[in-house]
Structures are given as structure tokens and as C-alpha cells.
Amino acid sequence: MCTTMTMSNYNKKVLLGMSGGIDSSSAAIILQEKGFEVIGVTFIQRTFKSMEEAVADAKRIADMLKIEHFVMDLREEFEQEIVHYFYTEYEKGRTPNPCVRCNKEIKYKRFLEEADKRGIHNISSGQYARVMKEDSGYLVKKAKNVSKDQSYYLYNLQEKDLNRVIFPLGELDSKEQARQLLKSRGVEFYQKKESQEICFIKDEKYIAFIEQYFDPKAKLGNFVDVNGNVLGKHEGIHKYTIGQRKGLGIALGTPHYVLDINPENNNVTLGLSNQLEKSGCYLSDYNIIYDNYDLNEKEFSCKIRYSARESLALISRVGDQLFVEFKDKTRAVTPGQSLVFYDGDVLVGGGIIDKTV
């Protein structure tokens, strides 16, 4: 039987990542109400000026709750691990997932290191997910509010660390509960708009952002069909993603979609909707959360991107990769994105989509 984690599982100190937003602010209140000694931390990933409002709001909540709050300057690590990865993936004709990488290389890695330095056992965030304790150990599970579930981004967590990770919002029924919690405490920004942007790119202008790092003219090339016949010119492989239909800038009489992007010759292959369907894919840089987990003879629910519907698949190890065989063909499986897989509502693992079949 699964039970939600209790105080007996932890010491009373917890290091909470505070972005100054609704979720992490309400997480601070919930943790404190549960009797934890909360220490808040806001990390700076680009410039201090761009983070002024976030830091100010985080400090406001910390002062209100009378908790310690500090700032970590992670600009150097963020540039190396996230920004460099982000634009080089687009250079390669792939579609990156910076939030997954940030969770792995920045958020949980650095938070755990900082917690250890400060003698703090637990770490926490305002993400919607759950860690549950079972007789056999700890499990990462989907949030109670499935529509807000963010477990997709957490597949790189390690089993050895799960007894230290707390997700206070995992049991909430809705985002509105988090807002009302802040309102009840007199927090003025309880109606703050929820950001949907990549945190280091303003106004979702990612094309202009990545073109600072390479010559966009070097990415120009041809639209081709599946037989290699030239259909027209395109504006650069970094402007397209698998499954894209709108904004292609070419009229072919019937709706066409991006099927493939080749960084070697800059060809972007276009085709019909049914040609997007794939029977499987290979995952690189994968992680299975639980030690000695047996993948064989199990059918998993998979998500090929955060917003995708789940599809059933068998998963097996092939060399240093995982092979995912979909029960039914799946559309727009995109190299560079993360595929994660679940056993029921338990997150088992995931990896980066490398190639499709």
C-alpha cells in the first residue's frame, strides 16, 4: 500500500526552490504548515536584471513567512549546460527540451549539493508531482491533478535521492487551490499570470535568440519530398520541427507536414499526415529511476512530449539505448524531445528520442 510521505520520513529542514511564482510560493506555505523549517533559494540563470521581479516576489513571500531566503548565481552553469545545449540542438535539426535538462543538470543536481553543504536533508519545488513511499521504497507518481501533472520533467531523478524530494503541490486538486492559499495569506500577486515561456527567452522569440549563436544563412536549404525531389526553398532548418504544418511558407495544394530534418544537407522533408506515423524509436541518454528495474514483458504508457497523449509501448534495452515499440503507430515522434514512460501512474523513466523507425 502507498502512503504519502510524513514527517517521520524526514528531518525538519527543507531547501525550496522559489521562483517568485504562484506554485513555489504556495509550496512554501504548505511546507511550513506541515511543520518544516523552510529555506528558500532563487537561482539566477541569465542576468540579475531579468530576475529582479522574481527575486523580489520570492523575498516578499520569505519575509512574510519569516523564512531564510538566498540567491544562487548559476549563470555560468546555465550558459554551459542549458543555453549551449539549446541552440546546438536546433543547429542539428533537433527540437530540444531545456526544462528536462535543467531539472537534471541544474535544479536537482545543484539543489542537492547546496542542501548537503547546509546540512539540509530535504529539497522541494513547486512542481506538480508526487513522491510516495511503498513497502519496497519510494516511487515518483503523477500529480493528483493530472491536467497539471509535471512528472514528465522528472525522469532523471535517482532512486537514492527520492527520500529527500518533496512535492507539496502533488495532492492539490487544482491550480486555483494554490492561488486561494496565497490570497488567504494576503499575497498581492495571487492572480499573477502563469508563464508558458522558456524561462530564458523573452516573449517566446526563440528564433531570434538562437540566431545570436550561429549564422542563420548556413542553415538555408531545400524542402524536398520523400523521394528527394526539390519542392522549394526554406528559411533555415532551425525554424522547423517534426509534425509542423503551419508557417512553412510553401503551397503544395494539400496540407503537408515536416517529416524529417537533415542537418548534413539542410533538407527539410515534407509529406502527408499519415507519413508522420512511426512504429518505434530509440532513446539515448536514458534513465530508469529504480535500480534493477525489469523492463521485460511489461506494457508501458508513454508520452513523446509533455503535451502529448499517452500511447502504449513495449520497451527493451538495445546496446546503450532503449528501443520503444509502440502498440499503435504514433504521430510526430521528434528527435531531441524526451519520451517518458509510466507503469500506471508511476513514473519509471525516460530518455531523449534519438531516431525513429
Q: What is the pLDDT of residues 270-315, one digit of tens each?
A: 999 999 999 999 999 999 999 989 998 899 999 999 989 999 999 9
- pLDDT tens, position by position, 56-111: 989 999 999 999 999 999 999 999 999 999 999 999 999 999 999 999 998 889 99
Helix spans in 73-223 (H) = 75-78, 84-91, 98-102, 108-117, 175-184, 206-210
* 202 has pLDDT over 80: no
- Cβ of 48: how many Cβ atoms within 10 Å? 11
* 131 has pLDDT over 80: yes
Residue with the three cell numbers 515499440: 325
* 49 has pLDDT over 90: no
Question: Phi and psi of 309, rounded to 5°?
Answer: -70, 155
Query: Cβ contacts of residue 148 below 8 Å, gap of 6+?
Result: 128, 169, 172, 174, 175
45 pLDDT tier (thresholds 50, 70, 90): confident
Whether the Cβ atoms of residue 356 and residue 281 lie closer than 8 Å to each other:
yes
Instruction: Output the pTM of the full model.
Output: 0.90
Whether the Cβ atoms of residue 330 and residue 147 lie closer than 8 Å to each other:
no
pLDDT at 48: 63
> 284 by DSSP, 3-state: which?
strand
* Mean pLDDT confidence for 180-198: 75
197 pLDDT tier (thresholds 50, 70, 90): low
Q: Give the percent of the chain with pLDDT over 90.
A: 76
- pLDDT tens, position by position, 307-343: 899 999 999 999 999 999 999 999 999 999 999 999 9
Catalytic residue among 99, 102, 281, 302: 102
pLDDT at 6: 43
195 pLDDT tier (thresholds 50, 70, 90): low
* 3 has pLDDT over 70: no
Fold of 3-202: Rossmann fold (3.40.50)
Amino acid at 101: R
pLDDT at 107: 87
Query: Cβ contacts of residue 88 below 8 Å, gap of 6+?
Result: none
- pLDDT tens, position by position, 64-75: 999 999 999 999
Look up 102 and say whether it is catalytic: yes
pLDDT at 210: 94
pLDDT at 198: 79
Class of domain 277-356: mainly beta
Catalytic residue among 99, 199, 281, 302: 199
4 pLDDT tier (thresholds 50, 70, 90): very low
Question: Phi and psi of 173, rounded to 5°?
Answer: -80, -25
pLDDT at 90: 95
* 113 has pLDDT over 70: yes
* 212 has pLDDT over 50: yes
Per the document, the length of the chain is 357
* Mean pLDDT confidence for 3-16: 64
Of residues 285, 260, 331, the one with CA closest to residue 85: 285
Residues paired with residue 257 on neighbouring β-strands, in sequence order: 271
C-alpha cell belonging to residue 12: 525538519
Domain boundaries, the chain: 3-202, 215-271, 277-356
Fold of 215-271: SH3 type barrels. (2.30.30)
C-alpha cell belonging to residue 76: 555560468
Look up 199 and say whether it is catalytic: yes
* 41 has pLDDT over 70: yes
pLDDT at 21: 87
> 102 by DSSP, 3-state: which?
helix
Q: Could you list the beta-strand ranges (E) of the chain.
A: 3-4, 13-17, 37-44, 68-73, 122-124, 130-134, 137-141, 165-166, 221-224, 230-234, 257-262, 267-271, 277-288, 299-303, 311-318, 321-331, 338-343, 346-356
* 1 has pLDDT over 60: no
pLDDT at 174: 86
Q: Could you list the beta-strand ranges (E) of 11-168.
A: 13-17, 37-44, 68-73, 122-124, 130-134, 137-141, 165-166
* Mean pLDDT confidence for 117-127: 94
